[in-house]
Amino acid sequence: MRVLVIEDFEVLATAIGSGLRREGMAVDVALNGTDALAHLALTRYDVVVLDRDLPGVHGDEVCRQIVAGGSQSRVLMLTAASTVRERVDGLGLGADDYLPKPFDFAELVARVRALGRRSAPALPPTLETGDVTLDPSRRVAFRAGRRLDLSPKEFAVLECLLAAGGRVVSAEELLERAWDEAADPFTTAVKTTIRRLRAKLGDPPVIHTVREGGYRIGEA
């Protein structure tokens, strides 16, 4: 899942970003509305965690532009505002959910995951190909009943491949969906992660390389 965190308080923005990355998400951070709009113009995000009270380009305007642009990104608005009227106003701008500050991080994660499921075409609660199964909500994956000990990146790549339903997924798409903007597009991170994932999945191989195409999961 690709997430953009927009929060002008840098300490909080960094903490949210680090916490969501530990949950296996690819996270970019913007500290103001102008930077946020630049990110949104270049990258497709599943979820945008948006502080409403941004300096410069206000969070309300960022939300309006996301909605006006027809983006499929889901918006979770954060604000210190606590009245019902202010919350209703935020949702009226097009935000999909609303979380007042201060908030419990576990609740933030749960809401981001729920919005992420709504940003993409509906998928079954458990992804499955052959004897490989993955439960996105429980963050567990199995092969032939054996639980796989996967790193967050390995889990994210496997989830992308299973969600593709046999479609070939390019290395560029995997890099975009499972890594954040800090990833070097010329890195070998995707190949390295695929190699480690194949080793953990074991034999017979289920992840196949498609020449000049990318990777797909399923029968050869």
pLDDT in tens, 154-208: 998 999 999 888 899 998 888 888 887 766 666 788 999 999 999 999 999 999 9
**Average pLDDT over all residues of the chain:** 87
> What CATH number corresponds to the domain at position 159?
1.10.10.10
| Domain hosting residue 23, numbered range | 2-119
Query: Domain count of the chain?
Result: 2
- Pair 12, 115 in one domain: yes
Position 89 confidence tier, pLDDT thresholds 50, 70, 90: low
Position 215 confidence tier, pLDDT thresholds 50, 70, 90: very high
Q: CB-hemisphere CA count at 13 Å for 132? A: 23
- Pair 16, 114 in one domain: yes
pTM (two decimals): 0.69
- Pair 100, 29 in one domain: yes
- Pair 144, 54 in one domain: no
- Pair 161, 209 in one domain: yes
- Pair 20, 98 in one domain: yes
| Cα–Cα distance for residue pair 10/68, rounded to 1 Å | 28
- Pair 156, 105 in one domain: no
- Pair 6, 51 in one domain: yes
Among 119, 148, 164, residue at a domain's last position: 119
- Pair 167, 203 in one domain: yes
pLDDT single digits (tens) 7-59: 999 999 999 999 999 888 889 999 999 999 999 998 889 999 999 889 889 99
Q: Please, what's the b/e burial string for 159-198 (b: 16 or more CB within 10 A of its CB; e: otherwise)? A: bbbbbbeeeebebebbbbbbbbeeeeeeeebbeebbeebb
- Say yes or no to pLDDT of 90 above 70: no
- Pair 209, 133 in one domain: yes
Sequence letter at residue 29: V
On the 0-12 / 13-18 / 19+ scale of CB atoms within 10 A, 57 is middle
Range with the lowest mean pLDDT among 85-89, 164-168, 202-206, 215-219? Answer: 85-89
